[in-house]
Structure 1
Amino acid sequence: MTEGHVSNTAGEAPRATLRAREAVAITVGIVVGAGIFRTPSLVAGAAESSTMVLLAWAAGGLVSLVGALCYAELASTYPHAGGDYHYLARAFGKRLAFLYAWARLSVIQTGSIVLLAFVFGDYASQLVSLGPASSAIYAALAVSGITGIHWVGVTAGARTQNWLTVAEVVGLAAVIVAGLLVAPAAAPAPAPPDTTAWGLIMVFVLLTFGGWNEAVYVSAELKDAPRRMAPVLVASLGLITVLYLLANAAYLRALGLAGVAASDAVAADVMGLAFGPVGATLISLFIAVAALTSANATVFTGARTAYALGRDHPALAVLGRWDVRAGSPRNAVLLQGLAALALTLVGAFVRDGFKLAVDYTAPVFWTFFLLVGLALFRLRQLDPDIERPFRVPLYPLLPALFVITNAYLLYSSLAYTGKGALLGVAVLAVGGLLILPLQSRNKDTAP
């Protein structure tokens, strides 16, 4: 048994106690986050009509469903706490798995934290503006504050997270009602020129759908998981797609395409039209708190990834130290916080810090989504006789569609996004340069 490994006895193993409806609720809670209150503005800004906006969100639901079916096969065949890290290691080896862990530490989780911090900043600025750089100032305060809390060792309870997720869905429902039934319809506006960038639109849409890949981990606690995992994912993504379509229909009816594109706080603008300043203030406060809650959870999971990376690689052992008194991997928390704060400060010097964080995260995110799709094909070849409790229907057509879509989104995230994308790719490249010296040091320090 290797150091740090704790065996799972029968009493310690997760028990299958979740029913399908509970698993659906968990999955919806993971996916529906603060992004739906911010990315619709970016989608509208890249589209030529309201119809195209709604088609994009519907397509996002379908593409996510195809990906979820691929993940359901991987999760049911290779159950492991390492998730994507484990699938990539089995399919392509430890070097690529290390690169994924590095990307998750330095780009994917960091970018997600900053995305959420800027959502918090945009909506907090609706309440109390701190000047021209108000959103960035709030975002930096959020990153610093949450990092400090986790460094001390205080974390938000699961019950608090669950209640705030419920509140987030209720708030989204309130915006839908306000935009579709209460607020006056926006006056028709001249159609913009045909400049739709479908690739860029889908980058924003599918990042907002992101998180369902984490949801497959409820399979260990789901009753009759091999039979129910796929229906749970289908039902969850169906519900999420309906919510997202209704939310965007509400935004577009109340503000119009141009109004949605110009808004930094689209939900607050809709609630303001429907219920006046009080409505706008309440929804801004609610979304700011929801964004902080999501950021808190992202800091928590991201720091644990960095901790695991330090445990696996002696050369990075400084990250793999756990402070027992604090109950927190303090070094990993601090490094992640500094990286997120640096990206936030860069965002202060651009027009839209939220979009910078999207640009920074998207190419790396889609690179590894693409590789996980390819891993499904590779593992079918490597393990032809292994039991697969769930198989992707219409194989190889649906996995191929998933891979092709991710390849297109990777291209789009590089072709249509700004300099932030190059920064994210450069940070990923640094991880590639670290592989060989780290492996060499690992051999030197091995017992």
Structure 2
Amino acid sequence: MTTVKKNVAERTHTPKPNLQAIDVIALIVGIVIGAGIFRIPSLVAANSASGFHFILYWIMGGAVSLIGALCYAELATTFPNTGGDYYFILRAFGRRLAFLFAWARISIIQTGSVALLAFIFGDYASQVFSLGDYSSVIYAAFTVLVLTGINILGVKAGAYTQKILTSLEVLGILVVVLAGFFFAPSSSIEVADAAPGGGGSTGLAMVFVLLTFGGWNEAAYVSAELRSGRKLIASSLIISIVIITVIYLIINLAYLRGLGMQGMASSDAIAGDLMRLSFGEGGMVLISILVAIAALTSANATIFTGARSNYALGRDFAIFSILGKWKSPSLGPVNSLLAQGLIALLLVSLGLFSRDGFETMVEYTAPVFWFFFLLVGLALFRLRKIAPAAERPFRVPLYPFLPVLFCLTCLYLLYSSIVYTGWGAMVGIGVLLVGVMILYFNKKGIDRE
């Protein structure tokens, strides 16, 4: 009898409001401000006609992200659910597309992102202390194992770890900012307004900028766990985007002042070049530690939120029922975390066969990510139509103009992520098609569940 009661209790556990608004803000800032800000600005500079345009693109990136956040704020406050995007698609378009999204998230989007961030940590940790020929892969696998283990310890352990890592990350960014504004030699400042060789490409520059801003939508996955009520999801999203935009503007102004447009455009490691210019070779070690911390911050947040959609997949579809168990209010979706960690480790193992695991994972995840991002944008219109009476604590201002602009941006980035990437994108699309096949052969079972 005791065993039966225990099993019933395990099945009936649901997410509890254990998180505060500051936890959500730390989560969003930690996901978005990852290692990309230490690599991508050089690509943006190479496609900018001048220093003015370079900074303008980052402001535009913040504006586009804010528009997207406003759309997500309406969805998350109207339909708060641990499934996040999955639940919005489910309500708007039905079980089949929801299943396909959940499949994509566990096999491509989230696990690919975890592997990508683990590779970044491995690359930079190897510069501090190499473990041999496969050093990056070893570090990446270790990262997945440790962070998954921390989150299995419980919701509060994962959230507490996130706040510590985010604080260290922001502190480290301040070091780079100080280097650019106060320690870079004056000779480099003279070329700050010089344009790179070409006239630049606004479209391509924005692709890179918005890649750096990616991840704020993860707040939707913890909307049901926010202790202070669903109205604070909207303010948490807006505050997070403002914080991220300000940080990005400051660090990019530091890059511009310290290296100039030509220096940025020709750099393969923009933060490292700035730190070397300011502090010598010791600066390179410092930036390696900084980028490693940034990667850990984003990886932990990605693992934390990814397990929530996996839980929703198992909760709603019998074929993946093992994932739909919430062990206890404090422990969370342990089975989902384990499955996510295993798949991420398999993707990390591709690093044994590919020399650039980071680029491979970017290509692998991008097209599928932007396809479903577009679908969530369209879900806002659909849900306004089919659920007009639902209580909406927050409504997107300037509807429908802002949601249309958001959808058009997603459509353009979907196109770009296919046209401008390599074989990794095709592999990701192929894995998505495997999900289509599962859906096709089991569609009657999925519709009945």
**TM-score (normalised: structure 1):** 0.83
Equivalent residue, structure 1, for 2:122: 121
Q: Is the Cα contact below 8 Å between 1:310 and 1:317 reproduced in 2?
A: yes
Deviation at 1:106, TM superposition (A): 0.7
2: CA distance, partners of 1:77 / 1:62? 23
Equivalent residue, structure 1, for 2:218: 214
Equivalent residue, structure 2, for 1:389: 393
Deviation at 1:435, TM superposition (A): 0.9
Superposed CA deviations along residues 75-128 of structure 1, whole A, max 9, x for unmatched, are: 222222222111111110011111111111011111211221122123213213
Superposed CA deviations along residues 191-250 of structure 1, whole A, max 9, x for unmatched, are: 545374444433332232223222354587475864x65455334322211210221222
Equivalent residue, structure 2, for 1:184: 185
Equivalent residue, structure 1, for 2:314: 310
Equivalent residue, structure 1, for 2:164: 163
241-250 vs 372-381, which moves further: 241-250
Deviation at 1:132, TM superposition (A): 6.7
Does residue 413 of structure 1 match 2:414?
no
Alignment CA distance shift 1:393-1:414 (3 Å)? same
388-397 vs 119-128, which moves further: 119-128
Equivalent residue, structure 2, for 1:53: 54
**Aligned-pair Cα RMSD in Å:** 3.6
Within a 5 Å distance, the mapping from 1:223-242 to structure 2 comes to: 226=231, 230-242=234-246
SS in 2 for 1:14: coil
| Amino acid of the structure 2 residue aligned with 1:341 | L
Deviation at 1:319, TM superposition (A): 4.3
Q: Is the Cα contact below 8 Å between 2:45 and 2:261 reproduced in 1?
A: yes
Equivalent residue, structure 2, for 1:398: 402
1: CA distance, partners of 2:405 / 2:141? 39
Alignment CA distance shift 1:15-1:419 (3 Å)? closer
Equivalent residue, structure 2, for 1:6: 12
Does residue 355 of structure 1 match 2:356?
no
SS in 2 for 1:82: coil
1: CA distance, partners of 2:420 / 2:371? 16
Deviation at 1:437, TM superposition (A): 2.4
Q: Is the Cα contact below 8 Å between 1:88 and 1:375 reproduced in 2?
A: yes
Deviation at 1:401, TM superposition (A): 0.3
Equivalent residue, structure 2, for 1:110: 111
| Amino acid of the structure 2 residue aligned with 1:77 | T
1: CA distance, partners of 2:133 / 2:48? 28
Q: Is the Cα contact below 8 Å between 2:27 and 2:162 reproduced in 1?
A: no
Gaps of 5+ in 2: 1-7
Deviation at 1:438, TM superposition (A): 3.0
2: CA distance, partners of 1:141 / 1:213? 27
Within a 5 Å distance, the mapping from 1:14-163 to structure 2 comes to: 14=17, 18=21, 27-47=28-48, 49-129=50-130, 134-143=135-144, 146=147, 149=149, 156-163=157-164
1: CA distance, partners of 2:357 / 2:199? 23
Equivalent residue, structure 1, for 2:5: none
Superposed CA deviations along residues 169-210 of structure 1, whole A, max 9, x for unmatched, are: 111112111112211253749854537444443333223222
Superposed CA deviations along residues 282-304 of structure 1, whole A, max 9, x for unmatched, are: 33223313422432342343344
Gaps of 5+ in 1: none
Deviation at 1:43, TM superposition (A): 3.3
Equivalent residue, structure 2, for 1:254: 258
**TM-score (normalised: structure 2):** 0.83
Alignment CA distance shift 1:355-1:248 (3 Å)? farther
Superposed CA deviations along residues 302-342 of structure 1, whole A, max 9, x for unmatched, are: 34433442343222345456789x96867644543443334
1: CA distance, partners of 2:384 / 2:368? 25
Does residue 423 of structure 1 match 2:427?
yes
Superposed CA deviations along residues 108-159 of structure 1, whole A, max 9, x for unmatched, are: 1112112211221232132134567654453344345545x36986895432
Alignment CA distance shift 1:424-1:69 (3 Å)? same
2: CA distance, partners of 1:258 / 1:322? 52
Alignment CA distance shift 1:4-1:223 (3 Å)? closer
2: CA distance, partners of 1:319 / 1:195? 51
Equivalent residue, structure 1, for 2:4: none
Deviation at 1:382, TM superposition (A): 0.7
1:194 paired residue among 186, 194, 198: 198
Deviation at 1:163, TM superposition (A): 1.7
2: CA distance, partners of 1:108 / 1:285? 26
1: CA distance, partners of 2:98 / 2:227? 27
Does residue 276 of structure 1 match 2:280?
yes
1:436 paired residue among 434, 440, 449: 440
1: CA distance, partners of 2:51 / 2:436? 42
1: CA distance, partners of 2:430 / 2:261? 35
Q: Is the Cα contact below 8 Å between 2:67 and 2:402 reproduced in 1?
A: yes
